[in-house]
Amino acid sequence: MTALLELGVDEKRYGTRTVLRGFHLRLAPGEVVSLIGASGCGKSSLLSIAAGLDGQYRGSVRLRGGAIRGTHAEIGLIFQEPRLFPWLTVEQNIVFGAPDAPDAGRVSALLEEVGLSGFGKSLPKQLSGGQAQRVAIARGLYTRPRVLLLDEPFSAVDAFTRMRLQDLLARVAEQHRLSVLLVTHDIDEALYLSDRIVLMDGVPGPARAEFEVDHTRPRERAVLATSTLKPAILESLHAVHAI
Ligand SMILES: Nc1ncnc2c1ncn2[C@@H]1O[C@H](COP(=O)(O)OP(=O)(O)O)[C@@H](O)[C@H]1O
Ligand SMILES: [Mg+2]
């Protein structure tokens, strides 16, 4: 299938230090891919490049085959922390930075979708961490992206909230037919949400391994408990003995 997004990072350096080399990743339309790897292996650097926030690299980012530079309305990015402006209301945060005049109908539809109807006039300080991340998701969807990039988006919330946010992500990915690239440390989260899991290495180079998750989406969490992929992934991460 033709890739919707194609990342080809020949080289990414900070000063003399190379963090990515020869790393290629293709996202098919509607495909959800999780990226797992130890801290410092370059996951956030890769997402910054994919989002067009970092142009200092050798290689290319292609959307439907065409090379792009800089940010793109069809590519949304969600960080670990919600990054809301504290002085703006929820509604204002959602539309902030979008080029066109605010679309109140779309804002209220998105608020409903993320389970925050009635919170439009609230300020970020009135929200819980999970609610604030829901606003960030609504903001990420506002410009109707085709691709959503998420950098450890649920790491800062408690386990229950995390599961609910995972369900929300699964739902919006399905409803908006998004291609998703999700950076996570959580193998269960990757198994629950993604079609494919890509492992990165501390050594700059191509992906260390890739796993196809065969279960159809949406998934039952219980099914994943018996997935034979988990030990294979742990093995691949050389993490079996550390747990
Ligand atoms: N702006 C920067 N300047 C210098 N080094 C950086 C910068 N951003 C990240 N790094 C370094 O690059 C490596 C990869 O970082 P990062 O992409 O954040 O990894 P990950 O998200 O996988 O933890 C790390 O060693 C980090 O310290
Ligand atoms: Mg990171």
41 touches ligand 1 (CB under 6 Å): yes
Among the bound ligands, name the one nearest to the CA of residue 14: 1
Q: Which atom of ligand 1 is nearest to the CA of 42?
A: 17
42 touches ligand 1 (CB under 6 Å): yes
Please give the residue that has the higher pLDDT: either 217 or 155: 155
20 touches ligand 1 (CB under 6 Å): no
Cα separation, 101 vs 3, whole angstroms: 32
CA of 226 to the centre of ligand 1 (A): 35
Burial class (CB in 10 A: 0-12, 13-18, 19+), 164: middle
Residue 166 phi/psi, 5° resolution? -60, -45
Q: Which atom of ligand 1 is nearest to the CA of 183?
A: 21
- Using the predicted structure, report yes or no on whether residue 243 has a pLDDT greater than 50: no
Instruction: Judge contact between 192 and 224, C-beta under 8 A.
Output: yes
The predicted-structure confidence for 85-115, as pLDDT tens digits, reads as follows: 999 999 999 999 887 889 999 999 999 999 9
CA of 148 to the centre of ligand 2 (A): 16
The closest residue, in CA terms, to atom 10 on ligand 1 is 14
CA of 152 to the centre of ligand 1 (A): 14
Of 147, 161, 170, 165, nearest in space to 218 by CA? 170
pTM of the model: 0.93
**pLDDT of amino acid 241:** 39
14 touches ligand 1 (CB under 6 Å): yes
Q: For a substitution probing ligand 1, which of 14, 151, 237 has the most ligand atoms within 8 Å of its CB?
A: 14
The closest residue, in CA terms, to atom 5 on ligand 1 is 14
16 touches ligand 1 (CB under 6 Å): no
Q: Which atom of ligand 1 is nearest to the CA of 39?
A: 23
7 touches ligand 1 (CB under 6 Å): no
Cα separation, 237 vs 202, whole angstroms: 11
CA of 176 to the centre of ligand 1 (A): 31
Q: How sure is the predictor about 1, in pLDDT bands with cuts at 50, 70 and 90?
A: low
* Secondary element (H or E) of residue 136: helix 129-142
List the Cα angle 139/144/147 in 5-degree steps.
Answer: 90
The predicted-structure confidence for 211-238, as pLDDT tens digits, reads as follows: 999 888 888 888 777 788 888 888 888 6
Mean pLDDT of the chain: 92
